[in-house]
Amino acid sequence: MNTIKSGNCIFEAYKKNMINIAIFASGSGTNAQRIIEYFKDDSEVNICRIFCNNPSAFVLQRAEKLNIPSLLFSKDDFYAEGIVADTLQSDRTDWIILAGFLWLIPQFLINRYPDRIVNIHPALLPKYGGKGMYGNRVHKAVIENGEDKSGITIHFVNQNYDEGQIIFQAKCDVHVKDTTQSLALKIHELEYKHFPEVIEELIKMAD
């Protein structure tokens, strides 16, 4: 896969001392779009770029439509200190937000952005986390195990999947008649409501 870089970060933002956010996504990008729209009129926050590891991910089309620069990268690009790390640096990135991004973050990025990389997981961690636990796989496991509650977990990222410090959780009921699709809808509602709000509180409190 060739690396494709589209557009430049909005450098005027630096003159205003804005907080620059990079969003990493691997799929449709509904959470990414919600975050972009939430901050579009915020004078303190700039969504600088969408980073994506999947050339067929719809998030790239969302980024183009929303006029957000993007970077499509390969696994080699990501796990070597090259184009991804260099672009984050040239964009003067302050925070990295994972919105449906499926690869483990390399240690050098964790070291470079300590407590500045945030992920959302569609379950109540520490349950139903770890490698391979994403999307409908999580909801299927929750239902099959007879859980009466599920929800979302927003957490800092460390060197292990879904094991970073928990920042925020929100719950929803799981009913006997729920399917993976109906539970997914409940989880998406929680994500869209809470993720941008928690990001805003977190970054503005820190900066």
Domains in the chain, CATH or no CATH each: 1-114 (3.40.50.170), 122-153+167-207 (3.40.50.170)
Among candidate residues 121, 155, 175, 194, the one labeled active-site is 121
Alpha-carbon distances, residue 116 vs 156, 173, 193, 207 (angstroms): 7, 31, 21, 11
Q: E-assigned strands of the chain?
A: 4-6, 19-25, 45-52, 70-72, 95-98, 117-121, 149-156, 166-173
Asked if 96 and 88 count as a contact pair (C-beta separation under 8 A), the reply is yes
Assess whether 155 carries a catalytic annotation. no
DSSP 165: P
Which pTM was predicted?
0.92
pLDDT by 10s per residue, the chain, length 207: 445 555 555 444 444 579 999 999 999 999 999 999 999 999 999 999 999 999 999 999 999 999 999 999 999 999 998 999 999 999 999 999 999 999 999 999 999 999 999 999 999 999 999 999 999 999 999 999 999 999 999 999 999 999 999 999 999 999 999 999 999 999 999 999 999 999 999 998 886
